[in-house]
């Protein structure tokens, strides 16, 4: 099957809210081809009028790597259709088996373009925030190989961002928690993200440069989850909170 057809299959699964078998069951795809499938599937979203809002990193914490059994850093694309306002509603019927995870987000005040050193990357970041990412694998039972999850845009489904704060706000090693209906279900430290979430930001800039992708001012980078992801059900309230960064809540 062509990469275009595999991309269409994943895109259709998301739109039809219908999980599919892992691509790797029938196809042998390289990691490079998986990223091409991802780009082709997101291109279909862009062709429907969605706009790229940034990128996300995945498997930047041991907690997530262990939960999913995949050990390599991955990245995916975010679009405006995935953005949920704070205190907004996640339309649960549009997702197959959504899970929430607490993250740190970066907001660019100037573009990321080409190879940049750490101080230039820091200067390009205007704000930081606590964030919730909703992931929703298009594969049955939320099970996949590295190539499968990359092709599936790294399970990206939705995200909500807490209050933006100046980029000098400490984020290196702050307590961060995920709550459902006001009860903490996972808590950890932001340092679970590559030892320091800024390292995710530097990795994102490197990945963008390697792939010849520019991100405009106003774009968002999600650093990856600090704790395992959690299933939630319709009617539940989901909150991510981090010390000094406040909180972000969505209603599912
Ligand atoms: C893949 C996405 C991983 C993260 O923050 O580590 C991710 C998945 O677990 O389905 O978003
Ligand atoms: Mg994530």
* 238 three-state secondary structure: strand
Neighbours of 190 (CB within 10 A): 28
Q: How many whole angstroms from 117 Cα to the centroid of ligand 1?
A: 26
What does the pLDDT read at residue 236? 98
Q: How many whole angstroms from 222 Cα to the centroid of ligand 2?
A: 7
What does the pLDDT read at residue 183? 98
Q: Which pair of structure tokens corresponds to residue 7? A: 């991309």
Choice from 34, 55, 57, 58 to test ligand 1 binding pocket (greatest atom count within 8 A of CB):
58
What does the pLDDT read at residue 1? 86
Measuring CA to CA, which residue among 172, 170, 204, 167 is closest to residue 191? 172
Neighbours of 183 (CB within 10 A): 8
Measuring CA to CA, which residue among 238, 198, 229, 13 is closest to residue 104? 198
Positions of the chain with pLDDT under 70: none
What does the pLDDT read at residue 73? 94
Per-residue pLDDT tens over the stretch 88-146 = 999 999 999 999 999 999 999 999 999 999 999 999 999 999 999 999 999 999 999 99
Which residue's CA is minimally distant from atom 7 of ligand 1?
Answer: 58
Q: Is 156 in the pocket of ligand 1 (CB under 6 A)?
A: no
Which ligand minimizes its atom distance to the CA of 226? 1
Q: Report how far residue 102's alpha carbon sits from residue 171's, in angstroms, rounded to the nearest whole number.
A: 13
Q: Report how far residue 14's alpha carbon sits from residue 207's, in angstroms, rounded to the nearest whole number.
A: 25
Q: How far is CA 99 from CA 22, 66, 133, in A?
A: 19, 16, 8
Q: What is the pTM of this model?
A: 0.97
Q: How many whole angstroms from 198 Cα to the centroid of ligand 1?
A: 18
Q: Report how far residue 1's alpha carbon sits from residue 168's, in angstroms, rounded to the nearest whole number.
A: 48
What does the pLDDT read at residue 123? 98
Q: How many whole angstroms from 1 Cα to the centroid of ligand 1?
A: 26
Choice from 61, 97, 188, 225 to test ligand 1 binding pocket (greatest atom count within 8 A of CB):
225
């Amino acid at each position: 099957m062509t990469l275009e057809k595999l991309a269409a299959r994943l895109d259709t699964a998301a739109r039809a809210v219908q999980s599919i078998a892992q691509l790797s069951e029938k196809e042998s795809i390289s990691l490079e081809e998986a990223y091409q499938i991802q780009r082709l599937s997101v291109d279909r979203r862009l062709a429907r009028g969605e706009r790229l809002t940034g990128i996300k990193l995945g498997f930047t914490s041991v907690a997530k790597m262990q939960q999913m059994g995949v050990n390599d850093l991955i990245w995916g694309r975010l679009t405006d259709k995935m953005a949920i306002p704070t205190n907004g509603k996640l339309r649960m019927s549009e997702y197959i088996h959504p899970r929430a995870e607490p993250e740190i987000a970066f907001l660019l005040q100037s573009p990321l373009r080409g190879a940049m050193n750490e101080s230039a990357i820091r200067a390009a970041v205007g704000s930081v925030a606590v964030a919730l990412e909703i992931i929703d694998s298009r594969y049955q039972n939320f099970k996949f190989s590295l190539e499968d999850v990359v092709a599936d845009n790294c399970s990206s489904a939705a995200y909500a961002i807490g209050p933006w704060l100046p980029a000098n706000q400490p984020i290196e090693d702050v307590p961060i928690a995920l709550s459902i209906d006001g009860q903490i279900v996972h808590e950890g430290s932001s340092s679970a993200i590559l030892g320091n979430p800024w390292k995710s930001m530097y990795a994102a800039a490197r990945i963008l440069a390697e792939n010849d992708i520019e991100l405009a001012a106003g774009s968002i980078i999600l650093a990856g989850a600090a704790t395992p992801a959690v299933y939630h059900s319709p009617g539940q309230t989901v909150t991510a909170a981090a010390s000094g960064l406040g909180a972000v809540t969505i209603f599912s």
